[in-house]
Amino acid sequence: MKKFFAVLAIIFVTGCSVFGNKKDEPNVNTDFMGGAIKVSYTLTGEFKSLTSSGTAKVTSILPSAVDEAYLTATLRARLQLVEFMKVEVEGNSFVKTVAESLQEGVNVNNSPDNKVTSKIASELQENIRQQSKAILTGTYVFDRSYDSGTRTVKVVIKTGVQDVKTAKQVHRLMGN
């Protein structure tokens, strides 16, 4: 019971710090893997969050079938996230795609040259590489939905800077 209250306290404190004195810097979102992965970061290349979506069909009429489909969709989204970290982040196409998104995002606000956007994209790539284990540890189900017409479920998992910090605090509290 103490652990439960400790976790709630950490979430409360972390939630309050999110709304603290952070400067309001606009975020840029870049889609990967056909839009199933979304990376959010600032115009300076600071990593903010990563989302992945997965789907699964409900294959039977048993009461537990929808829950099993949610589990399958969650596992697919996490697997997709791991594949993204191994393939996309390690490849040269990541820097090119992020640089193009940055260029589009800052064209409204006096766009820097291509060397600057490529440097920012490379810094973001390195930031994600260094935090990959923590990013994967901090994932949670952000949204889930069920379409009764197609009998399909969709799960969106998310991880971000604050989520990673919270996950680390919870792990420490639980003695891991």
Give the pLDDT confidence score for residue 23 in this predicted structure: 56
Provide the token pair at 167.
């996950």
In the chain, count of helices (H) and strands (E)? 6, 5
Q: Which long-range contacts (CB under 8 A, 24 or more apart) does 17-26 make?
A: 17/162, 18/162, 26/105, 26/109
Whole-Å CA distances, 153 to 63, 64, 70, 119: 15, 13, 6, 39
**Sequential pLDDT tens for the chain (176 residues):** 544 444 444 444 444 444 444 456 778 889 998 888 999 988 888 889 999 999 999 999 998 999 999 999 999 999 999 999 888 888 888 888 888 888 776 655 555 567 788 888 888 888 888 888 888 888 899 999 999 999 999 999 998 877 767 767 776 777 76
In the chain, where are the structural domains located?
25-160
Q: What is the largest CA-CA distance in the chain?
A: 57
Contact 124, 98 (CB under 8 A): yes
Q: Is the pTM of this model over 0.85?
A: no
Distance CA 123, CA 126 (A): 5
Cβ burial of 30 (10 Å; 0-12, 13-18, 19+) is buried
Helix H or strand E segment including 159: strand 152-160
Give the pLDDT confidence score for residue 109 in this predicted structure: 52
Distance CA 78, CA 101 (A): 24
φ/ψ bin of 93: left (φ > 0), alpha (ψ from -120 to 50), beta (otherwise): alpha
Whole-Å CA distances, 57 to 9, 127, 131, 140: 37, 35, 33, 21
Q: How far apart are the first and last CA of the chain?
A: 17
Give the pLDDT confidence score for residue 143 in this predicted structure: 96
Give the pLDDT confidence score for residue 129 in this predicted structure: 87
> Which amino acid is residue 92, in one-letter code?
N
Give the pLDDT confidence score for residue 7 in this predicted structure: 40
Give the pLDDT confidence score for residue 11 in this predicted structure: 46
